[in-house]
Amino acid sequence: MIKTNIGHCANHACEHGNNQHIIWMHYLHFGIRLPQGVPDHQGLAYIAATQLLFLHPTKNDQPASAGISVGGSALTADRLVVQSDLSLKFLKLSINDGATYWCVVKQLNRPASIPAGKKVHLVIHSPPVFQKVPSPEIFKKLHDSLNISCQATGNPLPTITWLRNGERLEEEKIQTSKGYLTILSLKESDAGKYSCLASNDIGQISYDIRIQFSKGAYFEHPISNVTAVAGSELFWPCHAKAEPPSLHYKWLKGEKEIAFLNTGLPFRSKVENGNLKISPVQEEDHDWYSCVAENGFGKPAISSAFLNVYYSPRILPSTPGIQYIAKGKHSSIYCKIEANPHYRLVVWKKDNDAINFTDDEKQTDIYLSSDGSKLHFYKGDDKHAGAYSCQAYNEIGASLPFEILVVVSEPPYFTSTPPSHVELTAGNDVSLSCSAEGYPKPKIEWKTNNGTIYSTSVITIWNASSSDYGEYECTASNPLSVLKRKTLLKVLNTAPQPLEDVEVSTNTTTATLKWKPGFNGGHAQHYTIRYKLKNAADEWTVYKTLDRTEITLDNLQPDEEYSFEIIPYNSNGIGKSFKLDAKTKKNSLEKDSIIKWKAHYSEKKHPVKPDDLKVKISLDTILLSWSQGRSSVKTVHNYSVEYQELKK
């Protein structure tokens, strides 16, 4: 408890007597009437804390008024005591008590006059107290600016001094003013502990701030590949470092955040402190994963690894439940198996009895593929028909047995086919047919020149016209194989078919056009060539040729775009024209411009037949080898081999 006395109300002005009232005032005078019954010879003893404090009664119970006020706020009895000698004593002195106090003598039974008395100025000295300080830890980027403030109160007003690592800051590029510290461009040496020191004559206090340079997230140890068994619980640790270390983590599956996947994984997984927990692990979780960490500074850190999910084998539903083998020919049946790790064993059964492949005496006509997924028959026979099953095993477990009904059948073979070329005159009708045998009965389909497919063995074209020209294909198929035969239908006495290939090359003033004609409709065809400046309203310039398929146009303007059109015609009419645009060269130094254009409606070109076919026959196999045709104009992607066993 602090007790402070303000001096006595001395001399005659403060000597209290009859009809006088002594007041301690702070500029303002507050007054109330004293309660009746207080003896005139008795000084003030106390008054309720909620009232203003009165100093002295008056004689003969005459009204008296007095009060103590500081800055307009009453000083209550719990903080102020008026001593018997009329001095003031302060309890729990506050810095706000500093003010000018006035000891006033006022004659209550006289006309109002200016009070006279003694003024006392009370000065309160106090040590510094911080009012505003920055965060104790600040992260910045290199070359960022720093501007922080440190404010303190006290009496006398404290002086603010800034220290770095215990030494006063006096560098040219560091500004300190009115409690502010400013560094325009931070460098590495500016990191450290800064102290705000507030001091006055009474004391000093300090406040520390640590300035650090931020570092984006990084991995000292990237996440590792993990293996988990389906149905188990996975804990996948991920820990990054950063400054500040307030890290945010997320996990990706593939390239998409787990939380936003449209699968069950978001409901089976949780990310805690960077670590990924999946429970339970499922086969579909098998994938690449990435742990992404960031703290808001720099780029996020990414570490990727693979989750390898082990599970027992399963037979894929795409495995046919009914499979066919060719009678008298090498055939096989199969199971599509998926397993991780790879299956080690496949058990095949027929009619619920395991097939013993180690007994050479019993199994001379059946053998397994190297991975066990296929069951081969040297020569299909009626005895091989029946109910088979396959069951795969690996370290995790076994698949369910998958049943396959094996049917002994015969691959398709054509009994009749259309000719490779058919010609007819426009307006006539033509029927194209093909037939095939086999077991199961082959399905016959025809594909027309426009791609339409008909499930029939005979197609008829009525009143044939130019639009019916093209290639038609018959297909015979059953579960064992597919056979195809093609025929080219040519309709005579029609206008020419569209051009197949067109090429234009330009120079500064010339353009050379070359083309490959389409079918001529059975009559000699000729061509009209015309051209003009593109987007111009000029008339076309027209040339006609007889049987040439190349023409050079001259007197063109340099650096201009032209439109060209080639129109085939014969004695039966005009065929579909072909249009293209090309630009002439600006000068002779430019490289020649060549544009090749293949009409979308041109006849499809097929690879030529292979050359040098060789056949090598052994006890149970036939080896075929060949080379691609030397004049083939297209890349060959695959070959289809057909064979048929001749009847003895």
Q: What is the mean pLDDT of residues 463-479?
A: 93
CA–CA gap between residue 72 and residue 291 (Å, rounded): 66
Instruction: Determine the 3-state secondary structure of 384 from DSSP.
Output: helix
Q: What is the mean pLDDT of residues 355-359?
A: 80
Q: Decide which of 109, 124, 139 is a domain's last residue.
A: 124
Q: Are 641 and 615 in contact (CB under 8 A)?
A: no
CA–CA gap between residue 544 and residue 279 (Å, rounded): 80
- The pLDDT of residue 67 is 45
Nearest CA to 557 among 593, 533, 529, 528?
Answer: 533
- The pLDDT of residue 204 is 92
With cut-offs at 50, 70 and 90, classify the pLDDT of residue 268.
very high
Which H helix or E strand runs over 265? Answer: helix 265-268
- The pLDDT of residue 21 is 47
Q: How many structural domains is the chain composed of?
A: 5
Highest mean pLDDT range out of 95-104, 113-122, 138-147, 409-418?
A: 409-418
Regarding whether 174 and 239 lie in a shared domain, the answer is: no
CA–CA gap between residue 211 and residue 453 (Å, rounded): 78
Q: Residue 103 falls within a domain, yes or no?
A: yes
At 126, the amino acid letter reads S
Q: What is the mean pLDDT of residues 621-646?
A: 68
Locate all alpha helices (DSSP H) within 15-58, ordered by sequence: none
Q: Residue 545 falls within a domain, yes or no?
A: yes
Please give the C-alpha separations between residue 436 and each of 94, 332, 454, 617, in angstroms, as whole numbers.
116, 23, 16, 27
Q: Residue 546 falls within a domain, yes or no?
A: yes
Q: What is the mean pLDDT of residues 438-463?
A: 93
- The pLDDT of residue 180 is 87
- The pLDDT of residue 179 is 84
CA–CA gap between residue 566 and residue 530 (Å, rounded): 7
Please give the C-alpha separations between residue 170 and each of 182, 517, 573, in angstroms, as whole numbers.
12, 92, 101
Regarding whether 223 and 278 lie in a shared domain, the answer is: yes
Q: Residue 267 falls within a domain, yes or no?
A: yes
The string of DSSP codes covering 235-252 is EE----EEES---EEEEE
Regarding whether 516 and 559 lie in a shared domain, the answer is: yes
Highest mean pLDDT range out of 141-145, 210-214, 337-341, 620-624?
A: 337-341
Q: Are 200 and 155 in contact (CB under 8 A)?
A: yes
Q: Decide which of 71, 98, 124 is a domain's last residue.
A: 124
CA–CA gap between residue 426 and residue 523 (Å, rounded): 13
CATH number at 24 reads: 2.60.40
Regarding whether 589 and 488 lie in a shared domain, the answer is: no
Mean pLDDT of the chain: 81
Q: Does the structure show a pLDDT above 90 at 468?
A: yes
Q: Does the structure show a pLDDT above 90 at 359?
A: no
Q: Are 490 and 454 in contact (CB under 8 A)?
A: no
- Torsion on CA atoms 513, 518, 524, 528, rounded to nearest 10: -40
Instruction: Determine the 3-state secondary structure of 283 from DSSP.
Output: helix
Q: Are 422 and 490 in contact (CB under 8 A)?
A: yes
Regarding whether 72 and 52 lie in a shared domain, the answer is: yes
pLDDT (tens digit per residue) in 308-331: 999 999 999 999 999 999 888 889
Q: Are 535 and 519 in contact (CB under 8 A)?
A: no
Q: Are 514 and 503 in contact (CB under 8 A)?
A: yes
Instruction: Determine the 3-state secondary structure of 466 from DSSP.
Output: helix
Range list of β-strands (E), 46-173: 69-70, 73-74, 80-82, 88-91, 99-107, 116-122, 126-132, 137-140, 146-149, 151-155, 159-164, 167-168
Token couple for 150? 């440190």
Q: Residue 350 falls within a domain, yes or no?
A: no
Q: Residue 328 falls within a domain, yes or no?
A: no
Q: Does the structure show a pLDDT above 70 at 623?
A: yes
Nearest CA to 325 among 384, 401, 253?
Answer: 384
Least confident of 8-12, 151-155, 552-556, 568-572: 8-12
With cut-offs at 50, 70 and 90, classify the pLDDT of residue 120.
confident
pLDDT (tens digit per residue) in 454-467: 999 999 999 999 99
With cut-offs at 50, 70 and 90, classify the pLDDT of residue 391.
very high
With cut-offs at 50, 70 and 90, classify the pLDDT of residue 597.
low
Regarding whether 224 and 283 lie in a shared domain, the answer is: yes
CA–CA gap between residue 68 and residue 80 (Å, rounded): 9
Nearest CA to 367 among 359, 352, 357?
Answer: 357
CATH number at 301 reads: 2.60.40.10
Token couple for 318? 């795409």
The whole-model pTM stands at 0.52
Which domain does 464 fall in, by range? 417-492
Rounded to 5°, angle at Cα 102 from 97 and 106: 140
Regarding whether 166 and 222 lie in a shared domain, the answer is: no
If one compares 7 and 373, the residue with the highest pLDDT of the two is 373
Q: What is the mean pLDDT of residues 612-617?
A: 79
Regarding whether 115 and 11 lie in a shared domain, the answer is: yes
Regarding whether 95 and 10 lie in a shared domain, the answer is: yes
- The pLDDT of residue 18 is 44
- The pLDDT of residue 335 is 96
Regarding whether 202 and 260 lie in a shared domain, the answer is: no
Least confident of 26-35, 255-264, 485-494, 544-553: 26-35
- The pLDDT of residue 619 is 63
Least confident of 44-48, 422-426, 447-451, 611-615: 44-48
CA–CA gap between residue 460 and residue 269 (Å, rounded): 64
Q: Are 409 and 440 in contact (CB under 8 A)?
A: yes
Nearest CA to 494 among 429, 545, 430, 425?
Answer: 425
- The pLDDT of residue 491 is 94
Q: Does the structure show a pLDDT above 70 at 503?
A: yes
Strands 204-213 and 234-236: unpaired
Q: Residue 147 falls within a domain, yes or no?
A: yes
Regarding whether 182 and 91 lie in a shared domain, the answer is: no
Q: Are 310 and 230 in contact (CB under 8 A)?
A: yes
- The pLDDT of residue 644 is 62
- Dihedral sign of CA atoms 72, 76, 80, 82 in order: positive
Token couple for 404? 């396959």
CA–CA gap between residue 422 and residue 283 (Å, rounded): 57
pLDDT (tens digit per residue) in 50-101: 222 333 333 333 333 344 444 444 455 567 777 777 777 877 777 777 788 7
If one compares 581 and 595, the residue with the highest pLDDT of the two is 581
Provide, rounded to the nearest whole percent, the portion of the chain with pLDDT above 70: 78
Q: b or e along 350-369 (b: 16 or more beta carbons within 10 Å of the residue's beta carbon)? A: beeeeeeeeeeeeeeebebe
Provide, rounded to the nearest whole percent, the portion of the chain with pLDDT above 90: 46
Q: Decide which of 102, 124, 146 is a domain's last residue.
A: 124
Least confident of 94-98, 439-443, 577-581: 94-98
If one compares 589 and 572, the residue with the highest pLDDT of the two is 572
Highest mean pLDDT range out of 32-36, 147-151, 595-599, 610-614?
A: 147-151
Q: Residue 432 falls within a domain, yes or no?
A: yes
Q: Does the structure show a pLDDT above 70 at 11?
A: no
CA–CA gap between residue 329 and residue 268 (Å, rounded): 52
Regarding whether 106 and 11 lie in a shared domain, the answer is: yes
Strands 430-433 and 458-461: antiparallel
